[in-house]
Amino acid sequence: MLEQHLYFFIGVRLNQTEGLEVGTLIAFTAYISMFWNPIMNLSNFYNQLITNLAGAERIFEILDIEPDIKDEAEAVTMPEITGKVTFDAVTFGYDPKINVLEDVSFTIDPGETIALVGPTGAGKTTIVNLISRFYEINHGQIQIDNNNIKDVSIESLRSQMGGIMTQDTFLFSGTIKDNIRYGKLDASDDEIIAAAKAVSAHEFILECPDGYDTNLNERGTKLSVGQRQLIAFARTMLSCPKILILDEATSSIDTHTERMVQKGIEELLLGRTSFVIAHRLSTIKNADRIFVVDDKGILESGSHDDLIQEGGSYYDLYMAQFKKKVLQKAHDLKLSHYHDKDSQDTKLKSMYEPTIMENWPQ
């Protein structure tokens, strides 16, 4: 800008003293711009090139990282999974000197739904990560359909366990339809819509400006947390994984939305081996078995009703969450024994729980 003012100042002086024509001055100014513009563009291109090279260097550094978990030399392709999972005396620790799990053994039958509960840091997520072979165990053996997971290729194992859902759902830039289709790249539009309907996502998608063709920002910032989670459910439903893992997948959904998608979750769990990690115990009451994980192992195992009757760790966890609601419901049902001082000083009597839960609002 300063240069242009200088050009015009000198040009006006020359016009007054030397008789420089106005057209010559304008032409000269245009020629100066034509001379400098390519040089400026070249400079900007160089700066952009340096920036891109720095970014490319970081990308190649990531691509060159050797994975810690590799296929064994004689690894074979995992046959089609039916869903039987076996832990045989498994010991594991992120730090070689500190074990998170010690001598853990259990067998899960195909199609069984297993809920993992327990305090934070007890090893619930660790168990499901070991099934996907994200880490190598220190001792013992993990089998899927009687195949040691170390003897099969990682790709053939994880490709059949596509259903790993966490509380942090990632949506990509693109349409809602494309985000669901990531679960199965060759899926038809009808399959995508069917998956969305199964998890109760269809209704809110139709309310979006362009329906399934609505464009989303990266991470789906235009949608609520619950809506993002519903799209992730639809994506998982579309992929039809043989083994499904839900790691606090409903923690970001409010109670009303959770009731709305509960049928969809049941459809998601139907007919496949499933591991459900949840701190909200109401979401796992219908699991075939519940594992209470703590103290480097599985303290209790059984159905919800069985563990309530035992009155152990699961009972304490359950009642810690529901004591106030149970007392309120007991008041509504006029179960006076719940309000006796002696009853409140001890554990709530489990004999009343079936009556309360039978009348619990759904």
Q: Which residues pair with 95 in a beta bridge?
A: 98
pTM over 0.75: no
Task: Examine residue 150 and state whether it is found in any structural domain, yes or no.
Answer: no
Task: Examine residue 101 and state whether it is found in any structural domain, yes or no.
Answer: no
Task: Give pLDDT, residue 349.
Answer: 47
Alpha-carbon span 290 to 285, nearest angstrom: 8
Using CA atoms of 234, 237, 239, 243 in order, give the dihedral in degrees to the nearest 10: 140
Task: Give pLDDT, residue 18.
Answer: 67
Task: Examine residue 249 and state whether it is found in any structural domain, yes or no.
Answer: no
Length, in residues, of the chain: 362
Of the three residues 63, 89, 114, the one that is the final residue of a domain is 63
Q: Which domain holds residue 58?
A: 2-63
Task: Give pLDDT, residue 100.
Answer: 92
Helices (H), the chain: 2-17, 22-63, 124-131, 154-158, 176-181, 189-198, 202-206, 225-239, 255-269, 304-310, 313-333, 341-345, 353-358
Give the residue ranges of the chain where pLDDT is below 70: 1-9, 11-22, 25, 162-163, 166-168, 249-261, 263-264, 282, 323-362
Tell me how many domains the chain contains: 2
Of the three residues 63, 83, 103, the one that is the final residue of a domain is 63
Task: Give pLDDT, residue 290.
Answer: 93
Task: Examine residue 52 and state whether it is found in any structural domain, yes or no.
Answer: yes
Task: Examine residue 214 and state whether it is found in any structural domain, yes or no.
Answer: no
What share of residues in the chain are helix, strand, coil (percent, to 5)? 50, 15, 35
Task: Give pLDDT, residue 291.
Answer: 94
Alpha-carbon span 128 to 244, nearest angstrom: 10
pLDDT one-digit tens code per residue, 269-287 = 777 898 988 777 767 888 8
Task: Examine residue 188 and state whether it is found in any structural domain, yes or no.
Answer: no
Distance from the Cα of residue 165 to its chain's centroid: 4
Task: Give pLDDT, residue 325.
Answer: 60
Distance from the Cα of residue 214 to its chain's centroid: 22
pLDDT one-digit tens code per residue, 3-40 = 666 666 676 666 666 666 667 767 777 777 777 788 78
Of the three residues 47, 63, 79, the one that is the final residue of a domain is 63
Task: Examine residue 293 and state whether it is found in any structural domain, yes or no.
Answer: no
Q: Could you tell me which residues come within 8 angstroms of residue 84 by beta carbon, excluding any fewer than 6 positions away?
A: 107, 108, 109, 110, 143, 144, 145, 146, 273
Task: Examine residue 59 and state whether it is found in any structural domain, yes or no.
Answer: yes
